[in-house]
Amino acid sequence: MSALKTPIIDSGDIEQKRDEIRKYFLTTWELYESLFETLKDDSVFYERPEPLRHPLIFYFGHTATFFVNKLMVAKIIDQRVDANAESMLAIGVDEMSWDDLDDAHYDWPSAKTVREYRNKVKALVEGLIDTLPLTLPIQWEDPFWIIMMGIEHERIHLETSSVLIRQLPLRLVKHHPNWQRYSSSSTAPQNTLLDVAGGLVTQGRTEPSSTYGWDNEYGELETEVTHFKASEYLVSNQEFLAFIEDKGYQTESYWTEEGWNWLQFTKAKHPPFWLKDKNNYQYRTMLEEIDMPWDWPADVNYLEAKAFCNWMSAKRNKKIRLPTEAEWIHLSDLNLEFDHVGRLDSKANIDFNYGASACPVSTFKQKDFYDVTGNVWQWTETAIDGFEGFKVHPAYDDFSVPTFDGRHNLIKGGSWASTGNETIRESRYAFRRHFIQHAGFRYIESNEDVSQDFNTYETDELISQYLEFHYGDEYFGVKNFPKACIDTIFEKGKELKFDRALDLGCAVGRSSFELATRFKQVDAVDFSTRFIRNAESLSEHGSVRYLITDEGELSTFKQVSLDDLGLQETAKRIHFSQGDACNLKPLYKNYDLIFAGNLIDRLYEPALFLESVHERLNAGGLLVLTSPYTWLEEFTKKENWIGGIKVNGENVTTLDGLHEMLKAHFEAYAEPIDVPFVIRETARKHQHTVAQMTFWKK
């Protein structure tokens, strides 16, 4: 059995490159088909080994349909191969919770149909590999990128389908010469913790890259990793048994809340591929049940791995946990060898090199540690996230973004079934923490706590609109509104004292950051906890990501950072908090500036704010208001409108009302000016508004 490494795509001879890619495609294609030859007969295609997923027939056809769909999306082809089959075979079921069973009714095509369909698609792709324009490097927007994407996508399914087959009842699979297991096992070695010196870890690739990469691999991340100890071996079945025997699966305190919930649902008492027969454990490989190979790595999910670490921490009174992604990369950088484009050179149980199973944890020593890569994937503490500068690949916009939710943890290192992109240094795959893969773990001891305060992406439409409004692109040539407001204040308020500013109604915070470029302290308050949470999150993480609606349910992923806006160092001078401008705590006082941007027509009783705001300003301080005076009963009862009303039969504008309400304590400081703003609703629809900015000196 052989599986080629992922091709180099930035250099070489063009026609040789076509050959290489054709071979890479065919190997993958045939390997994938061969995998399904392990099914006892065609009826097994309609079994659903994992109740959370489609039956196997879907996966058999899906990797072909994926090619067609992406070729259509990229407008490389404009005719489907089989619209009917493709509508059935397009969308997997991967994002579910453990109790969301896939019980929809589907009218699946026959195995024969899918085989014929696969043949057609194979011919199509081969033809395209022969004829599509090819220049090196192959870049994101090139047709050949789509070809590579299709191949690497099939390699992922090669592995995940092997997991599904491993979940089938034994009676439904058969022996196959391509899929032999590793043959020997023995007693497990004693595991020990070895020192790993700290260091700086850099991750992320830039375009153009030497090999194909998924979008989540691009961008940059630097992490300072402190000294830790790591287990010499992966946790073997032997080592894991101690946890089971010590009532690990019955002791709630070892489990995370999520883990315990999962345990209550599944009633698991041991790892998924263990079979208990009275007091003996058997072990399920892809196609066989064998006596427990005690020195092979334990296949567990994150929740089980984490419970094991907590158990071990308790027993040893040490801080034992899984490595973070950065710690894993650091360990890998210290112990593995890669070729000049980052493909693994060390020997390891990957690429089916040593059969279709794991092997003893003591088989592959890579410098100081065993199985730094290969054998089984290794769960990490890190939920997958985009690097700084992450951009979605337009042809596969839901590959990564839906997993940036804090609930998908990275697995690293690859397994015996990992090939192609899966085994390179930069690869980044993540699964829900309860999912079953050929995955286990290595534990570490570290004083560094990991509590990933996950910077999840905002999907709420209103908040995303505001994030784009404050930090995103400019539309119709209208300048960024919060920045324009604060720039104007700086320009007009030259003689102001720049000590303390209050940003009332700060929303998602841009004006607060801008104020903090000059003010020593900025208090930023908004009524909406959701707005404030986003502002705070940006302040903490330095970046924020959100989805903006393009058209209907289609959306674009956006990420903005304080750094890009030159605001990174302002965050420390801002204190964000939730508050009510109509009933603000007394502590908000002694300001040199109070800015209330687009606030007054959203207050339930603006007079409460306007008639007391002078108490919070220092003498000579400036109150600056902006508003489009969009009074709506929804926000402000009509009897509380400051203007835009008839009083005794005469028109009273909001500006009139402001003068009336503020004249006792303020003088108008400058002429009102108009400041336009645009809020994007979809790619084509916007609110375009002109706020009036007024200046009031105490």
Residue among 215 and 592 whose Cβ is closer to a second copy: 215
Rule CB under 8 A: say whether 598 interacts with a second copy. no
Task: Please choose, out of 117-125, 184-192, 412-420, 678-686, the segment that lies near a second copy by the rule CB under 8 A.
Answer: 678-686
Give the three-class secondary structure for 85.
helix
List the interface residues with a second copy, window 389-428 (CB under 8 A). Answer: 397-398
Q: Token pair of 509, please?
A: 């915070």
- Backbone phi, psi, residue 649, to 5°: 85, -5
C-alpha angle 603-609-611 in degrees, rounded to nearest 5: 135
Q: Which of 91, 170, 197, 462 binds a second copy (CB under 8 A)?
A: 91
Q: Which of 171, 278, 494, 684 binds a second copy (CB under 8 A)?
A: 684
Rule CB under 8 A: say whether 640 interacts with a second copy. no
Q: Which of 628, 640, 665, 668 binds a second copy (CB under 8 A)?
A: 628
Q: Which of 247, 520, 638, 667 binds a second copy (CB under 8 A)?
A: 638
Q: Which of 36, 404, 629, 696 binds a second copy (CB under 8 A)?
A: 629
Rule CB under 8 A: say whether 646 interacts with a second copy. yes
Could you give the dihedral angle defined by the CA atoms of residues 217, 378, 234 and 361, in that order, rounded to the nearest 10 degrees?
-80
Q: Which of 107, 257, 277, 553 binds a second copy (CB under 8 A)?
A: 553
- What does the alpha-carbon distance between residue 473 and residue 560 come to, in Å, rounded to a whole number? 10
Task: Report which secondary-structure segment, H or E, holds 530.
Answer: helix 529-541
Rule CB under 8 A: say whether 79 interacts with a second copy. no
Rule CB under 8 A: say whether 97 interacts with a second copy. no
Q: Which of 124, 564, 682, 697 binds a second copy (CB under 8 A)?
A: 682
Residue of 236, 207, 222, 226 lying closest to 145 (CA atoms):
207
Give the three-class secondary structure for 282.
strand
Residues 6+ apart with CB under 8 A from 689: 628, 630, 676, 677, 678, 679
Are 697 and 622 contacting, i.e. CB atoms less than 8 angstroms apart?
yes
Rule CB under 8 A: say whether 648 interacts with a second copy. yes
Task: Please choose, out of 62-70, 104-112, 441-449, 583-591, the segment that lies near a second copy by the rule CB under 8 A.
Answer: 62-70
| DSSP strand pairing (591-597 vs 617-627) | parallel
- C-alpha distances in Å from residue 201, one per residue of 332, 333, 370, 613: 10, 9, 21, 50
Q: Token pair of 110, please?
A: 């026959």
Rule CB under 8 A: say whether 72 interacts with a second copy. yes
Q: Token pair of 285, please?
A: 């490989």
Residue among 397 and 487 whose Cβ is closer to a second copy: 397
Residues 6+ apart with CB under 8 A from 27: 2, 3, 4
Residues 6+ apart with CB under 8 A from 663: none
Token pair 């790619």 is at which residue? Answer: 683
Residues 6+ apart with CB under 8 A from 627: 598, 599, 600, 601, 654, 691, 692
- What does the alpha-carbon distance between residue 355 and residue 95 come to, in Å, rounded to a whole number? 30
Residue among 70 and 205 whose Cβ is closer to a second copy: 70
Q: Token pair of 485, please?
A: 């407001």
Residue of 96, 14, 90, 100 lying closest to 59 (CA atoms):
90
- In angstroms, what is the minimal distance from the CB of 67 to a second copy? 12
Q: Which of 461, 630, 665, 697 binds a second copy (CB under 8 A)?
A: 630
- In angstroms, what is the minimal distance from the CB of 17 to a second copy? 28
Are 410 and 429 contacting, i.e. CB atoms less than 8 angstroms apart?
yes
Residue among 275 and 668 whose Cβ is closer to a second copy: 668
Residue among 308 and 631 whose Cβ is closer to a second copy: 631
Q: Which of 228, 377, 435, 641 binds a second copy (CB under 8 A)?
A: 641
- What does the alpha-carbon distance between residue 38 and residue 40 come to, in Å, rounded to a whole number? 6
Rule CB under 8 A: say whether 570 interacts with a second copy. no
Residue of 661, 644, 650 lying closest to 601 (CA atoms):
644
- Backbone phi, psi, residue 255, to 5°: -100, 145
Task: Please choose, out of 175-183, 329-337, 455-463, 651-659, the segment that lies near a second copy by the rule CB under 8 A.
Answer: 651-659
- In angstroms, what is the minimal distance from the CB of 645 to a second copy? 5
Residue of 437, 374, 385 lying closest to 407 (CA atoms):
385
Rule CB under 8 A: say whether 362 interacts with a second copy. no
Query: Residue 137: is the preceding peptide bond cis (ω within 30°)?
Result: yes
Q: Which of 30, 207, 550, 569 binds a second copy (CB under 8 A)?
A: 550
Q: Which of 257, 453, 639, 650 binds a second copy (CB under 8 A)?
A: 650
- In angstroms, what is the minimal distance from the CB of 678 to a second copy? 7
Q: Which of 69, 366, 480, 543 binds a second copy (CB under 8 A)?
A: 69
160 forms bridges with which residues in the sheet? none
- Binding string, 468-497, against a second copy, x = CB under 8 A? --------x---------------------
Residue of 27, 121, 21 lying closest to 68 (CA atoms):
121
- In angstroms, what is the minimal distance from the CB of 384 to a second copy? 20
- What does the alpha-carbon distance between residue 36 and residue 244 come to, in Å, rounded to a whole number? 34
Residue among 8 and 675 whose Cβ is closer to a second copy: 675
Q: Which of 643, 695, 696, 698 binds a second copy (CB under 8 A)?
A: 643
- In angstroms, what is the minimal distance from the CB of 45 to a second copy? 20
Q: Which of 645, 668, 669, 672 binds a second copy (CB under 8 A)?
A: 645
List the interface residues with a second copy, window 236-295 (CB under 8 A). Answer: none
Residue among 70 and 434 whose Cβ is closer to a second copy: 70
Task: Please choose, out of 110-118, 235-243, 327-335, 687-695, the segment that lies near a second copy by the rule CB under 8 A.
Answer: 687-695
594 forms bridges with which residues in the sheet? 502, 623
**How many C-beta neighbours within 10 Å does residue 411 have?**
30
Task: Please choose, out of 235-243, 413-421, 520-528, 647-655, the segment that lies near a second copy by the rule CB under 8 A.
Answer: 647-655
Residue among 418 and 636 whose Cβ is closer to a second copy: 636
Binding-site residue total for a second copy (CB under 8 A)? Answer: 46
Residue among 561 and 682 whose Cβ is closer to a second copy: 682
SS3 track for 140-192? CCCHHHHHHHHHHHHHHHHHHHHHHHHHCCHHHECCCHHHCCCCCCCCCCCCC
The contact set with a second copy (CB under 8 A) reads 65, 69-70, 72-73, 86-87, 90-91, 397-398, 476, 550-554, 628-631, 638, 641, 643-651, 653-654, 678, 681-682, 684-692
